[in-house]
Amino acid sequence: MALIVHKYGGTSMGSTERIRNVAKRVAKWHRAGHQMVVVPSAMSGETNRLLGLAKELAPGKASPSYERELDMLASTGEQASSALLAIALQAEGLQSVSYAGWQVPIRTNNAYTKARIESIDDARVRADLDAGKVVIVTGFQGMDDAGNITTLGRGGSDTSAVAVAAAMKAQECLIYTDVDGVYTTDPRVVPEARRLKTVSFEEMLEMASLGSKVLQIRSVEFAGKYRVPLRVLSSFTPWDIDIHEEAASGTLITFEEDENMEQAIVSGIAFNRDEAKIALRGVPDKPGIAYQILGAVAQANVEVDMIIQNISKDGRTDFSFTVNRGDYAKIMDLLRSSVIKGLGVEDLEGDTKICKVSIVGIGMRSHVGIASKMFRALSEEGINIQMISTSEIKTSVVIDEKYIELAVRALHKAFDLDQPATA
Amino acid sequence: MALIVHKYGGTSMGSTERIRNVAKRVAKWHRAGHQMVVVPSAMSGETNRLLGLAKELAPGKASPSYERELDMLASTGEQASSALLAIALQAEGLQSVSYAGWQVPIRTNNAYTKARIESIDDARVRADLDAGKVVIVTGFQGMDDAGNITTLGRGGSDTSAVAVAAAMKAQECLIYTDVDGVYTTDPRVVPEARRLKTVSFEEMLEMASLGSKVLQIRSVEFAGKYRVPLRVLSSFTPWDIDIHEEAASGTLITFEEDENMEQAIVSGIAFNRDEAKIALRGVPDKPGIAYQILGAVAQANVEVDMIIQNISKDGRTDFSFTVNRGDYAKIMDLLRSSVIKGLGVEDLEGDTKICKVSIVGIGMRSHVGIASKMFRALSEEGINIQMISTSEIKTSVVIDEKYIELAVRALHKAFDLDQPATA
């Protein structure tokens, strides 16, 4: 008998029919002798519906007291779906109880709309499990020290599930979603893309941060920190599929490097269409310049992704970075109106028609020549590389947006990702 | 500066447009120097939508653990509308904060779906009021001693508002709704029906229990117990109506008999189409019979309204009572299958085509002949009376359903309710 955490996304909870299927699946696991904690998301569309109402009332408003109310509002979606799942489980003949975040309690800091979990008291949940109940822990939400409801940001139910699994030392946390695992790249772009049976925590972190939207990145960080075995799998298999088959399906995110994992050098190709490039040319090369530019960007609460500064020439350098495309106009205005004035920058230019493509693989740590193989594959397709950034387990390039599919397909083939990896 | 509680029903909160109007109205009261606590219902249709989902998952199921989840589910509707109202008030430039029942906290017993309020801690709300905030207290809900969410039953937001007003010793509790006050009878039946400027607490109690669905009856009981000045008024007047005019509109429910109230003997005609009559004929007249019959009905969790037992003849009596029409078939089955067998009852009959019409008036206490005036008015219209029941301030008759409008109009006229009362 093991303690297992299941997490079901909004699509899996999207109708009473689907909720009933979730209940039947959970009941199967319970009857197989497992103690079950289930973390559901809000029914699909519900969070958007609620936040849409708020936006109608207060377009563009943002303050802590406003965001506090957004959390009061948005948290109701998950509370409702949790209660519905408990009801569906009872209809299956099981004992079941649902808890809102504050009832567990899941304690967070008070950063409304993007709070971080600080602690989870599992006494209440554990007592129910020991009494034979299936416990539903409402995802996406918690409570701050002053008793206010907080939410964890988009996709926060993943983080709730992993955090509960960590706090309760669950044997495994299964994230049921509308895809059946993590792929070498997006199958809509490369039909030959292959599902990975395992992927390392570090690779998953890079893939998530690079736009593979299977898991909220914070949940992966959490899983890494507490070494929670995490599996991404499909909620669209029949609920009565053999439990051993189900338990081995999807993609397992691993932490042990000596596990029997696939030993591909590159595990996947990630890409992101949602970036824009900003370049400051002829920046005087003196201390503090990077801070003067990016400090202002950070103060505007905009996240910067890639940052490139080349060696200088004649006392001047080029400084470029990428931001989310939605922040592009705001940052260009900011730079024009205040930042670059005092710096003596020669030119400011930007481009929204770019994309980022990355190869990710834990094997890159110990293999040389991987980046150059990437560059060659792109060059063979006539694709010009505008920016390059590397980390220990990934290499990213910025290219013209129009080449994105071509680049991804070329790289997928160059690294033999359509072939099963050799062990 | 006074402390005022406003309560807005589901129709008043039915869209973002309406919520904005509520916010503007509340802001007007706040700017006039009042401390404001606002209790909103869920957006109209939301509670039905949520409970409909539960019913799809578990049709007909009922147990404490099921009802606990129903409360988790249904309570989200009010929490969402509370947050939306706080957001709308902030958009009006006010400081505002919303609290779920458990955050206040409003403590209740653990009778899920129909909990009763046991205590309200007003410290948090009072601190916010003193800091100049408008406080939204989520209606319809509370928390039991074990930290479970409870709801107060249909219309429970009225009770929440009155309870908060009582706990905080508010100067007045204003119930904004889709009617503009309490009428001498339903204007759809009698076009000459007149709005009452005041109505006594006892009369309101009878009117509410007799099917005038302006206020939840428990909220009236609560107002009576704690002597909370309660006003029912329309939320469909323009929000910028003069505040003094608004404060004097609607119907005030009074407790002081020596107040300058209307001195009509009969204040209103209430009626209820939703009853059914059950009669047991030739019941042996011995001790315990009433208990044997009605005890079984109560165990089936069905409420009995009128109960009539006449004097016996030859050791046998007739015993009749009325129940909600929806419970009729169930109770007839119950009586046939088990209850009447051992009793030696001669005949069981029932009728769903009946209605109840009542005259209500605190003046009846000190005036004789009121009931006979009622019976004469009905007899002049050729309406046969099937059952009669009286209390200190009301007289009710059961008649054939088809006469309901005729009876109500005849009584409204007989007691001069279309004329303003003399002071």
**What percent of chain A stands above pLDDT 90?**
62
A74 CA to chain B: closest CA distance, Å? Answer: 8
Tell me what the pLDDT averaged over chain A comes to: 90
Per the CB < 8 Å rule, is B65 touching A96?
yes
- Note the pLDDT tens digit of each residue in B357-402: 999 988 787 777 888 889 999 999 999 998 888 888 888 999 999 9
From the CA of B153, how many Å to the nearest CA of chain A?
A: 18
pLDDT at B264: 67
* A49, HSE (Cβ side, Cα atoms, 13 Å): 12
The residue of chain B nearest to residue A64, with distances taken between CA atoms, is B97
Q: Does A419 touch chain B (CB under 8 A)?
A: no
Residue burial B248-286, b: 16+ Cβ < 10 Å; e: rest: ebbbbbbeeeeeebbebbbbbbbbbeebbbbbbebbebe
Confidence at residue A351, expressed as pLDDT on a 0 to 100 scale: 94
Would the pLDDT of A261 be above 70? no
Tell me the residues of chain B between 327 and 346 that have a Cβ less than 8 Å away from chain A. none
| Predicted confidence (pLDDT) per residue in B309-366, tens digit | 877 778 888 889 999 999 999 999 999 887 777 788 888 999 999 999 999 988 787 7
Of A122-131, A252-261, A296-305, B88-97, least confident by mean pLDDT is A252-261
Check pLDDT > 50 for residue A423.
no
Predicted ipTM beyond 0.85 = no
Q: Domain B3-258 sits in which CATH superfamily?
A: Acetylglutamate kinase-like (3.40.1160.10)
Q: Which residues of B touch A65 (CB under 8 A)?
A: 90, 95-97
Residue ranges, comma separated, of all CATH 3.30.2130.10 domains in chain B are 263-415
Stretch(es) of chain B classified as CATH 3.40.1160.10: 3-258
According to CATH, the topology of domain A263-417 is VC0802-like (3.30.2130)
B98 in contact with A, Cβ within 8 Å: yes
Edge-first strand order for the sheet with A106-108 is: A117-120, A106-108, A141-143, A149-151
What is the number of CB-based contacts under 8 A between chain A and chain B? 125
Amino acid at B40: P
* Lowest-confidence pick of A6-10, A102-106, A110-114, B253-257: B253-257
CATH architecture of A3-260: 3-Layer(aba) Sandwich (3.40)
pTM of the model: 0.83
Structure tokens at B239: 């929000």
Question: Quick check: B80 and A100 CB within 8 A?
Answer: no
Is any Cβ of chain A less than 8 angstroms from the Cβ of B196? no
3-state secondary structure of B214: coil
CB contact under 8 A, B72 and A79: yes
- In the three-class reduction of DSSP (H, G, I as helix; E, B as strand; rest coil), residue B42 is classed as coil
Per-residue model confidence (pLDDT) at position A256: 66
Tens digits of residue pLDDT in A268-288: 999 988 899 999 988 888 777
In this predicted model, what pLDDT tens digit does every residue of A362-412 receive, in sequence order?
A: 878 777 788 888 999 999 999 999 888 888 888 899 999 999 999 999 999
Domain with CATH 3.30.2130.10 in chain A: 263-417
Instruction: Kindly state whether A146 is in contact with chain B, defined as any CB-CB distance less than 8 angstroms.
Output: no
Q: Which two tokens stand for residue B360?
A: 């209500």
The answer to whether the CB atoms of B70 and A87 lie below 8 A apart is yes
User: A115 vs chain B: nearest CA distance in angstroms?
Assistant: 18
The band of A211, judged by pLDDT with boundaries at 50, 70 and 90, is: low
Residue B19 and residue A98: Cβ atoms within 8 Å?
Answer: no
What residues of B are in contact with residue A69 (Cβ under 8 Å)? Answer: 83-84, 86-87, 90, 96-98
Would an 8 Å CB–CB cutoff place B68 in contact with chain A?
A: yes
* A258 lies within 8 A of chain B by CB: no
**pLDDT over 60 at A293, yes or no:** yes
Q: Please, where in chain A does CATH 3.40.1160.10 lie?
A: 3-260
Question: Domain B263-415 adopts which CATH fold?
Answer: VC0802-like (3.30.2130)
Query: How many Å lie between the alpha carbon of A21 and the closest alpha carbon of chain B?
Result: 11
Pairing type for strands B198-200 and B251-254 reads parallel
C-alpha B182/C-alpha B214 separation (Å) is: 7
Mean pLDDT throughout B88-110?
97
Q: What pLDDT is attached to residue B263?
A: 61
pLDDT at B422: 52
Query: 3-state class of B63 per DSSP?
Result: coil
- Strands, E, within A285-418: which ranges? 304-309, 316-324, 347-351, 354-360, 385-391, 394-400
Rounded to the nearest angstrom, the minimum Cα separation between A47 and chain B is: 11
pLDDT given for residue B317 in this prediction: 85
Distance between CA atoms of A139 and B192, rounded to whole angstroms?
Answer: 55
User: Is B6 strand, coil or helix?
Assistant: strand
